[in-house]
Structure 1
């Protein structure tokens, strides 16, 4: 039975993992007959957003503690992730990726990436284990795979240009499809970069999970 490491950046699309994307990812992994373990960095969130008003609050929250809400408590800190124990990797999106995994939300193409996270992502790449990056998470790919990695965030020009500036190759893609980089064993899909509903996001995420598991040894 194939096992997938799922990395969560909190809980809530404005400051953590996009909850619908995360749940759909876990659902499709199970429907494909595989298992998963969720991980998150044990660090403070960059900010906390009131998801009713959209305003930033003065609260302090922990990324792993928040992500545990999605994982129903079954979550481990990122530093306990042993790449050799997993067949594949998937990162749901949400602005937590751009705030808690890296600082793309602040610095765009001049961003820096959490060192612990980057080390793990690179190890999956070096071990030739397939990976799926959803929504905004493909902004990490040039740092992981280097020059020319193919990826999509849909068709948002500003984000696509940032990926290109960092050395990636952006490919426009509709919400219900995926982009495959065969050379690097990476699959990407736009999800809520384009999705207008859960049903929209479901189509591309389902294809991504299926392709990632198909490529897993």
Structure 2
């Protein structure tokens, strides 16, 4: 619970307001519809890996952080406001080459109960299924910001990063999350905001994103590096 407080203390009111969303079933999305749930976008075929982008709502305080959803992926940025949406229950690793989970409080409130329960959190049933399915299939999974806690909970012994492990004068306000990740049985690697950690064994790629208080272009660089690495792994 201490770790959960570390995560949401500056936004505690927002977390309380949207606590009821925890029971909602997330949708799978490469883009987001005007709904409190997350979704999967289907579009015309494109060359290259098919990547499922799992969103958890609209906006950082109750869903997916939009900068994180669209950074370095211009087609996703264009899709974020319109298009076909599919329930997360429809996502199958057989139909995609990789999965990416952007951050935002939705990952801690809608896709899991981490915002309330910390290390004792539960992960949405379909989210857990998707993570295990892609992992078993040997297909890469990318997560940023607070979303790595999902992998830490579901994939035992996975290696992830949510940034630094000390607040450092407020630069890393959610540093306590690293301890919760360790308590979940995962291994945490301290990384800077522009860096990624690649768990080669589990094909899990993570980056801190907005866990750090810094300029947007630094966050953009880190997310871009995460996406690039996920695509590299998907092509192997």
The TM-score with structure 1 as length reference comes to 0.77
Does residue 189 of structure 2 align to residue 175 of structure 1?
no
Contact 2:152–2:186 (CA under 8 A) maintained in structure 1: yes
- Residue-by-residue CA offset, 1:136-172 (whole Å, 9 max, x unaligned): 000011233212x110111243100000000011111
Do the aligned partners of residues 127 and 25 (structure 1) sit closer, same or farther apart at CA in structure 2, a change above 3 Å counting? farther
Mapping for residues 142-153 of structure 1, pairs under 5 Å: 142-147=152-157, 149-153=158-162
Contact 1:195–1:201 (CA under 8 A) maintained in structure 2: no
- Residue-by-residue CA offset, 1:72-114 (whole Å, 9 max, x unaligned): 2332110111211111110000000000000000000000011
For residue 78 of structure 1, the aligned residue among 73, 85, 88 is: 88
What is the match of residue 97 of structure 1?
107
Q: Between Structure 1 and Structure 2, how many residues are aligned? A: 178
For residue 188 of structure 1, the aligned residue among 206, 212, 215 is: 206
Moved over 6 A (4+): none
Does residue 222 of structure 2 align to residue 211 of structure 1?
no
Secondary structure of the 1:216 match is helix
Deviation at 1:71, TM superposition (A): 4.6
Does residue 195 of structure 2 align to residue 160 of structure 1?
no
What is the match of residue 21 of structure 1?
68
Question: Mind listing any 5+ residue stretches in structure 1 that lack a counterpart?
Answer: 31-35, 37-68
For residue 139 of structure 1, the aligned residue among 146, 149, 155 is: 149
Contact 1:25–1:92 (CA under 8 A) maintained in structure 2: no
Do the aligned partners of residues 168 and 25 (structure 1) sit closer, same or farther apart at CA in structure 2, a change above 3 Å counting? farther
Deviation at 1:23, TM superposition (A): 1.2
The TM-score with structure 2 as length reference comes to 0.71
Secondary structure of the 1:213 match is helix
Question: Mind listing any 5+ residue stretches in structure 2 that lack a counterpart?
Answer: 1-47, 165-173
Deviation at 1:195, TM superposition (A): 4.5
Separation (CA, whole Å) in 2 of partners of 1:201 and 1:72: 25
Separation (CA, whole Å) in 2 of partners of 1:77 and 1:25: 25
Deviation at 1:196, TM superposition (A): 2.3
What is the match of residue 25 of structure 2?
none
Separation (CA, whole Å) in 1 of partners of 2:93 and 2:151: 17
Secondary structure of the 1:142 match is helix
